Amino acid sequence: MALKTLSPSQSDIEQEAARLSDKGLGGLGYRDEELERAAALTWRINRLKMEKKAVIPAHVYQRPEILLGVADMIGDSYRLAKLGAASDAEIIVFCGVRFMAETAKILSPDKTVLLPAPEAGCSLSESITAADVRALKKKHPGAPVAVYINTSVAVKAECDVVVTSANAPKIMRRLYETHDKVIFAPDAMMGANLAKELGKTIGKDLIVWNGTCIVHDNFDAASVEFYRKMYPGVKILAHFECTPALTSVVDYIGGTGDMMKWVDDHKAPSYMLITECGLGDLARTKFPDKAFVPMCRLCPHMKAVTLERVLSALEKPSAAQTIEVPPSVAARALKPIERMFELAEDRAAA
Ligand code: 13P
Ligand code: SF4
């Protein structure tokens, strides 16, 4: 049934602005005019979403007005892959980057998957090609290939298992049960962190690629000592994609989902989340009684998604916003993604 109008009245906007403020945007410092600007868009997006039977998964690095205003599911890469596949919506408007929307399309080939910012890539995904993976396999015959979910469909199609920051150590451990040598690509920093955690030697029993995340690669390990002096008792958490120099001096290392859980499970005078800024914004709204020391960087790819672009994708998606994956590559990429679900959830032998 078509909704009567898609133009909010001034009173609709005021009500929606109050809802957004209560959801947490007020606490994040949005002023009245910013709330009303966002409200005029979220009001329309939420109505169109119902009308078109669409669902909006949003990665935790998205803008707060997307996370708190229009998202139906929020999470890390693993959670979004699982939840998106389980949804019975006809359209998925993926608020995230290309590899996430492509994963959603592979898992739900019959759904329309839209990426509001079609140019939203990822430095890790762009660091490696399918030909590079084939060359690695040729150089290290018999070694299973685990690739980070931050990769293209063509790269996934060449690998044995996909991993995310939420399950990489577990899945890599499983692979080492049956193999002496494993290939991990493309994040060199995550590879080094995994080598340390699993007691493996890079170049010998762990072969890594040389990709990095432009956001996490740039945090400075030296500043940790300074912040510890400035904020006594602060607990410092860093994402798996940070450099080993940094991860060796923090209190916890993990993916975004695990970082949020760690904060939830611990009592500390303050917390510092060394990752993309979106996680800190979300943490401040989810844990209003906890103190967060700012330390973050923006991901230009994640922040390319705006409410305006979400609305345009829902109203009239362009060809560029519509994700298509050739079925033959999708079928090959699906296998290692399913393997990830099986190994992460202990449903299969290594
Ligand atoms: P997770 O949220 O899965 O930890 O991934 C971080 C990331 O960089 C996604 O782009
Ligand atoms: Fe890629 Fe890094 Fe941005 Fe995540 S934060 S999308 S890994 S560039």
- State if residue 150 touches ligand 1 by the CB under 6 angstroms criterion: yes
Look at residue 349 in the predicted model and tell me its pLDDT: 75
Q: Is 299 in the pocket of ligand 2 (CB under 6 A)?
A: yes
Looking up residue 269, the CATH number of its domain turns out to be 3.40.50.10800
pLDDT-based confidence at residue 268 (cuts at 50, 70, 90)? very high
- In the prediction, which pLDDT does 85 show? 83
Q: At what angle do helices 188-198 and 168-178 cross, to 10 degrees?
A: 60
Q: Is the pLDDT of residue 194 over 80?
A: yes
- Show the domain range for 101: 3-121+302-315
Into how many domains does the chain fold?
Answer: 3
Ligand 1 within 6 A of 103 CB? Answer: no
Residue 339 has pLDDT above 70, yes or no: yes
Regarding whether 287 and 265 lie in a shared domain, the answer is yes
Element (H, E) at 82: helix 77-86
- Of the candidates 78, 102, 85, 91, which has an alpha carbon nearest to the alpha carbon of residue 326? 102
* Judgement on whether residues 167 and 240 belong to the same structural domain of the protein: no
| 329, part of any domain | no
pTM score: 0.96
Residues 177 and 247 in one domain: no
Atom number of ligand 1 nearest to Cα 255: 4
Give the pLDDT score at 331. 97
Q: pLDDT (tens digit, 9 = 90+) per residue, 228-244?
A: 999 999 999 999 999 99
Q: Residue range 73-79: average pLDDT?
A: 95
Number of H helices, E strands in the chain: 15, 13
Sign, Cα dihedral of 261, 266, 270, 272: negative
Ligand nearest to the CA of 77: 1
**What's the pLDDT band for 5 if we cut at 50, 70, 90?**
low
Query: For residue 1, what pLDDT band results from cuts at 50, 70 and 90?
Result: very low
Look at residue 3 and tell me whether its pLDDT is greater than 60: no
The mean pLDDT value of the chain amounts to 95
- For residues 151 and 201, state if they share a domain: yes
Quick one: 24 and 37 in the same domain? yes
pLDDT at 70 over 90: yes
